[in-house]
Amino acid sequence: MRIPPWTRDELILACDLVARNGWHELRQTHEPVRQLSRILRSLRLHDVDLADETFRSVNSVSRKTADLASRHRDYTGKQTRGGKLEQEVLDAFLARPDEMHATAERIREAAAAGQLDALDLQHDALDDEAAVREGRILLRLHQRRERDARLRQRKINTVLAAGRPLECEVCAFHFGRTYGPLGKGYIEVHHVTPLYASGETVTSLADLALLCSNCHRMCHRSGGTSEPWRTPAELRELMLGFDAVDSGTTS
């Protein structure tokens, strides 16, 4: 069997070990390596025969920690194997260590709690740009949260009861005013706090924002792995800033 390449999620877990080990590789005999091997074999990120003991074995996990350690800027030896994705994940840990360690912890928690068993992790995520930042696992869990029909309806009912329109909190787009009866009552719901920061907690309606499809996607999108999670308020400020620039240019 051909062993599949490592995914971003797997590399996040491996890089978490390396970072916690002072950016040094871990050997096959280290217990964290054995634990990670068991986790990776249980994730179902790949369509593989788990009878093949070479798949994400302790040896392969140890080698991957060596690959990651050798790409660190302070490493003085010869760089081992690895490519662009390894470097991106390592750079993310250097730029946002707290977030990346929390991301790894959330993945481990979700795997231990069996929350990944019903998720389709072997196909491309619906939003590839968001997956680049969060990894496929947390993106799938985030999407499952946002598609909770009962939670969405509770948020909508609360907004309507307060006498507010169902419009985007960033750009004020209103589906009903634009599409008539077809768009009446439609709006997308976005969780303001990412899973790496919140974990699988009970969601408060205050954690939810009403967004149009474009602004929803822009909140998930990142211009690079070093950027922080973009909230609706920050996206609105970004839009206002560009509006001001455009006004100054055309005046």
Q: Are 40 and 17 in contact (CB under 8 A)?
A: no
pLDDT tens figures, 104-146:
998 898 888 776 765 555 554 444 555 545 566 777 776 776 7
Q: In the numeric block, which tokens belong to residue 118? A: 């019903």
pLDDT tens figures, 188-229:
999 887 665 555 555 678 889 999 999 998 887 754 545 566
Please state the rounded mean pLDDT for residues 34-54: 85
Q: Is the pLDDT of residue 11 over 90?
A: yes
State the Cα torsion 15-21-25-29 to the nearest 10°. -110
Bridge-based pairing state of the strands 188-191 and 208-211: antiparallel
- The CA distance from 68 to 10, in Å, is 12
Q: Give residues with Cβ within 8 angstroms of 180, minimum separation 6.
A: none
Q: Is the pLDDT of residue 176 over 90?
A: yes
Amino acid 197: pLDDT: 53
